[in-house]
Amino acid sequence: MLHLVSELIPQQEAYMRVVVVGAGYAGTIAANRLAKKVKAVEITVINPRPDFVERVRLHEQIAGTGAAATPLTSMLREGITTRLNTVDKISDAEVALGDGSRLEFDYLFLAVGSTVAPLPGTVPVGTWEGAEQARAALAGLSGGRTVTVIGGGLTGIETAAEVAFGRPDLRVRLVGRTIAASLSAGAQKRVRTGLGRLNVEIVTDSVARIDRGAGEGGGDAVRLHSGARFASDLTLWAIIGGVPDLAARSGLEVDADGRAVVDECLRSVNAPRIFVVGDCAAVPGARAACATALPQGAHAADTLARILEGRKPQPYSMGYTGQSLSLGRHDGLLQAGRRDDTLRRLFLAGRTAAVGKERLCRYARSGARTATYAWLKGPK
């Protein structure tokens, strides 16, 4: 359990030690923005690998149509220290690292993102390691083989479309209880049309299990809850399934999904020197997205800068504009939404939407790197 001195004593004169755990969208923008705003600060970013991974491009990495990794050295401002490691536990003003060493901090940003819980026999697309495994397996498949993508949300749709786009010689199936349920009715229909144009077969059902080696020619067999069964040479798990248990393990208060509960300034409610940002934070009304992680990381950095200057922190506020997805490289969809993330009927699809989606991905990466990122205020 953490017993950190909570209160916001102006500490501008002191040289503050700030540790950032996780260099995804939230952690990278937080580190860069703080470094930009506060000089008397020593920032250490801890991440398991030397690259910044654009998770929003993992489906491109898998299909060989794009690259998701950029060296962290080119993403972080000069003066920020990087430690290639994982944090095993956060305790009173120090973190325990995977290599057994410890690092003290005055303030910490917890930005470890979300994780996956793949069904045995499937390869997850939502992590770098899974995506790399999927890319290698896909490259090894000869024409005519079958790839099954499990998950009818936006990640599953993007993955099925990208694989079909990059490898038109393969048979691609998308299985989901629902398909594109987060979009408006018109947009859902358009997604089905786009997938159809890429010859993606849609199966509206859920997967019960994978029988390894029980398919034709030594492949696997996918069994659906309806009882149906079909052969699959590579089965991809495209569902994001939870958050790392680091917050819970460290004694931070978490919600039922394991996300750290935060106050209106994005500080852990029981350890106020710990800011929690991105997918691993339980922020009312927020959904897991880079469009959420970036403003949260930026706001948390601004808040710490204010605290160190002896100014009053401002509550976090963020409004959504909609959702976006790619359907291969030449098609896509931009769904308009309201600030409270409810849907409008309006959407844009086709090549212009594909270009729009690509620009959003670039804006997200450049926002993390430059720490300049604009967002709407949330609904009143």
Ligand X SMILES: Cc1cc2nc3c(=O)[nH]c(=O)nc-3n(C[C@H](O)[C@H](O)[C@H](O)COP(=O)(O)OP(=O)(O)OC[C@H]3O[C@@H](n4cnc5c(N)ncnc54)[C@H](O)[C@@H]3O)c2cc1C
Residues in the site for ligand X, rule: CB under 6 A?
21-27, 46-48, 53, 55-56, 58-59, 86-87, 111-114, 125-126, 155, 158, 244, 246, 278-279, 288-291, 293, 324
Output 11 or 241, the one with its CB closest to ligand X: 241
Q: Choose between 6 and 372: whose C-beta lies nearer to ligand X.
A: 372
Distance in angstroms (rounded) separating the CA atoms of residues 24 and 21: 9
CB of residue 58 vs ligand X: minimum separation in angstroms? 4
- Least distance (Å) between residue 59 CB and ligand X: 5
CA nearest to 187, candidates 154, 224, 229, 220: 154
Q: How far is CA 147 from CA 136, 171, 191, 196, 235, in A?
A: 13, 6, 19, 15, 6
The nearest distance, CB 119 to ligand X, in angstroms, is 16
Beta strands 123-124 and 234-237, pairing class: parallel
Give the neighbor-by-neighbor strand order of the sheet with 81-84: 81-84, 41-47, 16-21, 107-110, 271-276, 267-268
Residue 231 or 293 with smaller CB distance to ligand X = 293
- Residue nearest to ligand X as judged by C-beta position: 24
C-alpha angle 353-64-82 in degrees, rounded to nearest 5: 95
Helix boundaries (H) for the chain: 25-37, 58-63, 128-139, 154-166, 185-197, 246-249, 290-308, 351-370
Residue closer to ligand X by CB (options 46, 207) is 46
Minimum CB separation from ligand X for residue 160, in Å?
A: 11
Q: CA 301 to CA 297: how far, in whole Å?
A: 6
Instruction: For residue 49, give both structure tokens.
Output: 């690998």
Q: CA Rg, the chain, in Å?
A: 21
| Residue 96 beta carbon to ligand X: minimum distance, rounded to whole angstroms | 10
Q: Which is nearer to ligand X, 111 or 175 (CB)?
A: 111
Query: Least distance to ligand X from the beta carbon of 293, Å?
Result: 4
Nearer to ligand X, 192 or 249 (CB): 249
